[in-house]
Structure 1
């Protein structure tokens, strides 16, 4: 007897989505990269580690690997299966970036943050490393879905006093390409019609206070990302800035 085929998963291919990335003031290259692929149920940002070798190479490698992995696997996988595919892709990129850095010299680092939203049906998975963030606006309330992987955040979680060195406090403790073992955090939640998700780099959230972020959401994702960029620049950011927004439709 032939087994029945599993029901097709609902993909957010018609969800309104938009993405924007801008080079920072006085920067020679934009080290951010973005991905907005509603057809794959995938949105992401990556922020190449500033001041290191080829941060733009790292961020683009990660974004390209994510899209390529899900394109090859097909869009009808379960959330768990799709998550396993992207984790495998990121692990591979992590090794490739370490190998590239080794070719440049023992002190070279080619690394990037990653924040990714993956949706299947009415479930969403957030996966991240570094200080790029994912936010959810639901019923006028803004929720931060990720925790920064920085010295300051790690010390706070451990109940330790703040670092006496403000610059060291913002140093990343996780990133793709930074260490042999790639450690990723993830969170799974249910989605509701009307939910708005924002995936962004620190060039956005560091320049806009939480109330400003919440007040930047429009029904149109394209208007939202443009307003976020305007407010980040008005807030004095000189960093590269990137934002991807999608709205859950019934």
Structure 2
């Protein structure tokens, strides 16, 4: 970024109306590189223990790889791809040893100190990029209804209420390799907001509603508002909810240094 900036962030998680929590969310500041941040969200599936084990593995793989990551020399996109593949392999091994069928989505974005951003996702947990209160881009779900939308057979609004809206066509832990979709933002700007969330959140909001909330509220306030509003709109039938919000803010201009007085010779 041309100007100095700071990152303001928040995470939120709630079990909704489920009996147990299978979502997990993690927001990490790099231990050695200031301004390097990783957000990771996973929506586990496969029963009470299976889903949680799957999302646990996503978090573990993410933390281990991020700790070793060096933004000056390493490839961010490759690191995120490795994160997905490693988590997928470990989840598959868990399925073999535990005789369960754990699966998980993943939505992760990495912000480098120089202001570029990379993201990766698999499944139907989403990442949104907002700028100036408007949606710039969001991930496209690896789901049955998204395929219908892409083919023009149904609208986005119809997809939200479709009876098969929860069917995924790819995620971590399946027999086949997970779909792995990446995106690159060359330069984040002050006022940009990144939002990662599970379907327990985004299902209840239009992109314009999300844009308005994250634009007008701080990340912490937006997190609390979105969880409360999603709970209200779910009317007792809500899924687990998880989200991470990172907002880019410009630092206030520094005051000029005080003038020095020099003696004037006459």
Q: TM-score range by the shorter chain?
A: 0.7 to 0.9
In the other structure, the counterpart of 2:7 is 15
Alignment of 1:60-75 (within 5 A): 60-75=56-71
In the other structure, the counterpart of 1:103 is 97
The alpha-carbon distance between structure 1 residues 92 and 13, as it changes in their structure 2 partners (threshold 3 A), is: farther
Q: Is the 8 A contact 1:52 1:110 kept in 2?
A: no
Q: 1:29 aligns with which of 20, 27, 31?
A: 20
Matched residue SS, 1:181: coil
Q: Is the 8 A contact 2:16 2:239 kept in 1?
A: yes
Are 2:123 and 1:130 aligned?
A: yes
In the other structure, the counterpart of 1:178 is 174
Query: What TM-score do you get using the length of structure 2 for normalisation?
Result: 0.79
1:94-152 deviations in whole A, cap 9, x for unaligned?
111112112344xx421100011112222211210011111122112124420011011
In the other structure, the counterpart of 2:206 is 209
The alpha-carbon distance between structure 1 residues 160 and 142, as it changes in their structure 2 partners (threshold 3 A), is: closer
Greater Rg by CA: 2
Alignment of 1:88-237 (within 5 A): 88-105=82-99, 108-120=100-112, 121-158=114-151, 166-189=162-185, 190-217=187-214, 218-236=216-234
1:20-70 deviations in whole A, cap 9, x for unaligned?
111121x22210010112434211211012647611111121022112101
CA distance in 2 between partners of 1:15 and 1:169 (Å): 34
The alpha-carbon distance between structure 1 residues 98 and 13, as it changes in their structure 2 partners (threshold 3 A), is: farther
CA distance in 1 between partners of 2:22 and 2:13 (Å): 10
Displacement after TM superposition at 1:86 (Å): 2.7
In the other structure, the counterpart of 1:242 is 242
In the other structure, the counterpart of 2:40 is 44
Q: Structure 1 unaligned segments of length 5 or more: list them.
A: 1-8
CA distance in 2 between partners of 1:233 and 1:148 (Å): 22
Matched residue SS, 2:102: coil
Matched residue SS, 2:127: strand
Matched residue SS, 1:193: coil
CA distance in 2 between partners of 1:169 and 1:194 (Å): 33
CA distance in 2 between partners of 1:69 and 1:77 (Å): 14
CA distance in 2 between partners of 1:134 and 1:61 (Å): 20
CA distance in 2 between partners of 1:54 and 1:13 (Å): 41
CA distance in 2 between partners of 1:57 and 1:102 (Å): 13
Q: Work out the number of aligned pairs and report it.
A: 235
Q: Structure 2 unaligned segments of length 5 or more: list them.
A: 31-35, 251-266
| RMSD (CA atoms) | 2.7
CA distance in 1 between partners of 2:130 and 2:38 (Å): 18
